[in-house]
Copies of this chain bind each other. A is one copy, B any other.
Amino acid sequence: MELHEPDLPDVPVTAVLAALADDVRLQIVRALAEGGESACGSFEFGVSKATRSHHLKVLREAGLTRTRAAGTTRYVRLRRDELDRLYPGLLNAVLTAPTPPA
């Protein structure tokens, strides 16, 4: 299977924002920012693995993450450098944002 990992400049900003505009995905991104490269399965956020897989695909196709396969496990990491270069401040703003007030 070929993993779509688009060049960041080819991704519309709105797609990046849309990818971040979901609670589960934001938790994933935060976990990645804090913990570095992680296995897909390490994201336990109360959704099925089908849903988790879906969210990881959205993140990947929005240019936010890269995925590396190792055996049956897949490791995901944030494309932080590229993101910071193209959208300086964005990631930091999102990551340091206060957690849900509810």
Measured CB to CB, the residues of A under 8 A from B are 9-10, 12-15, 17-18, 20-23, 26, 86-90, 92-94, 96-98, 100-102
Interface of A is mostly: helix
Whether A86 contacts B98 in the complex (CB less than 8 A), given A14-B26, A18-B21, A21-B21, comes out as: yes
A78 to chain B, nearest CB (A): 16
Cα A10 to Cα B9 in complex, Å, equals: 33
Cα A39 to Cα B4 in complex, Å, equals: 42
Contact partner of A101 (CB less than 8 A), chosen from B12, B17, B90, B92, is B12
Q: List the B side residues contacting A86 at CB < 8 Å.
A: 97-98
A85 to chain B, nearest CB (A): 11
Q: Determine if A102 and B12 form an interchain contact, defined as CB atoms under 8 angstroms apart.
A: yes
Cα A89 to Cα B96 in complex, Å, equals: 10
Q: Determine if A14 and B18 form an interchain contact, defined as CB atoms under 8 angstroms apart.
A: no
